[in-house]
């Protein structure tokens, strides 16, 4: 049994090698956060490309979590921070495809409440956001959710939670696209739609070519996407995540096609049920299309949320000692941020 298809592994290897950055130091840094007991089992040939290929193959065979962690998820998470946007995007796609550890839940949307995501990544707090997502699957509930907040608050982690929930249930399929900062001025409407469709229907054909007037083209793009999503089955539900459509340098056609998608999502006559989650997007621009919108504002994680998370994940006899150390570390910080709280929790859980 393997985590990912062999072709996906080979394609990732070729992409990394083509980037020109694969050397022994880069590989040391890539594998540094793996559980030590597993790290020592990785092959270490003298040729960096061989080490990369053989190590990823070994990671792909480790289908059981080690200390609550899928080693391959750790490596892919590291690659999502790569400076190359293509590598980041591929790593995020593969993370979404990893099977989430843990027994199936009797609650079809129970995974939305999980603190541990695929590969043991943390998703702390955000109770309002989780409750809003539960309403998405409820008849008569909202059809569009916007997720906003200050920079570095963790808005983009929304996709990780939804990918985890999708992998743990059969309630919905996840289509997603993230517009990276360096891409925003070049991102086009057809690029956006194709990214969304190909994330759940890899063999889909190309989107309709550009034509005038733009509004007609946006409608054709949205209709094409719905037709491709229909291949998932008559009773399928697709949750569409678009991250970054509200970036300041994004061209107007992105907003145009997003508004058209929102209008389609609000129409109950589509062959598949659709929901739209917009990360970093002003809800005011969408109210005119007539769909029900639930705006969610997220803030930085707090010490109280950190305590509740640690208490839920740690055996009771160990909690007090771990929390004492974690609280002391958080008290030394001038300002608490999502990143600093998450780092402190990861450190406590790893010790």
Per-residue pLDDT tens for 101-135? 444 455 667 888 888 876 667 888 988 999 998 88
At residue 344, does pLDDT exceed 90? no
Output the pTM of the full model. 0.79
pLDDT of residue 221: 93
> What share of the chain has pLDDT > 70, as a percent?
94
User: 144 near 265, Cβ under 8 Å?
Assistant: yes
How far apart (Å, rounded) are the C-alpha atoms in residues 21 and 268? 48
**Given pLDDT bands bounded at 50, 70 and 90, which one contains residue 54?**
very high
User: 70 near 81, Cβ under 8 Å?
Assistant: no
**Mean confidence (pLDDT) of the chain:** 84
* Conformational region of residue 119, where left means phi above 0, alpha means psi within -120 to 50, and beta covers everything else: left
**Given pLDDT bands bounded at 50, 70 and 90, which one contains residue 100?**
very low
List, in order, residues 6 or more apart from 12 with CB less than 8 Å away. Answer: 56, 90, 91, 94
- Please give the structure tokens belonging to residue 329: 């570390």
């Amino acid at each position: 049994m393997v985590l990912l298809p062999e072709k996906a592994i080979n394609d990732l290897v070729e992409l990394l090698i083509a980037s020109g950055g694969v050397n022994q130091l880069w590989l040391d840094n890539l594998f540094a956060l793996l559980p030590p007991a597993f790290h020592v089992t990785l092959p270490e040939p003298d040729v960096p490309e061989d080490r990369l290929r053989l190590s990823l193959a070994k990671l792909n065979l480790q289908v059981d979590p080690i200390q609550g962690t899928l080693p391959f998820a750790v490596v892919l998470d590291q690659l999502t921070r790569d400076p190359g946007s293509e590598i980041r995007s591929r790593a995020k796609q593969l993370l979404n495809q990893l099977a989430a550890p843990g027994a199936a839940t009797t609650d079809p949307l129970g995974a939305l409440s999980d603190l541990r995501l695929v590969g043991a990544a943390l998703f702390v707090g955000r109770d309002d956001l989780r409750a809003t997502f539960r309403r998405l699957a409820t008849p008569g509930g909202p059809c569009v959710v916007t997720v906003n907040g200050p920079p570095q608050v963790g808005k983009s982690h929304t996709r990780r939670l939804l990918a985890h929930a999708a992998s743990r249930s059969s309630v919905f399929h996840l289509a997603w696209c993230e517009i990276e900062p360096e891409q925003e001025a070049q991102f086009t409407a057809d690029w956006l739609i194709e990214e969304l469709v190909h994330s759940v229907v890899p063999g889909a054909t190309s989107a309709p070519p550009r034509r005038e007037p733009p509004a007609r083209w946006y409608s054709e793009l949205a209709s094409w996407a719905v037709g491709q999503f229909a291949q998932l089955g008559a009773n399928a539900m697709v949750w569409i995540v678009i991250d970054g459509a509200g970036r300041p340098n994004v061209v107007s056609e992105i907003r145009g096609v997003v508004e058209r998608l929102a209008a389609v999502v609000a129409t109950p006559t589509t062959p598949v049920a659709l929901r739209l989650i917009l990360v970093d997007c002003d809800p005011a621009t969408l109210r005119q299309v007539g769909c029900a919108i639930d705006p969610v504002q997220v803030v930085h994680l707090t010490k109280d949320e950190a305590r509740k998370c640690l208490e839920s994940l740690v055996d009771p006899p160990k909690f007090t000692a771990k929390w004492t150390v974690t609280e002391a570390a958080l008290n030394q910080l001038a300002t608490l941020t999502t990143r600093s709280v998450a780092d402190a929790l990861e450190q406590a859980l790893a010790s």
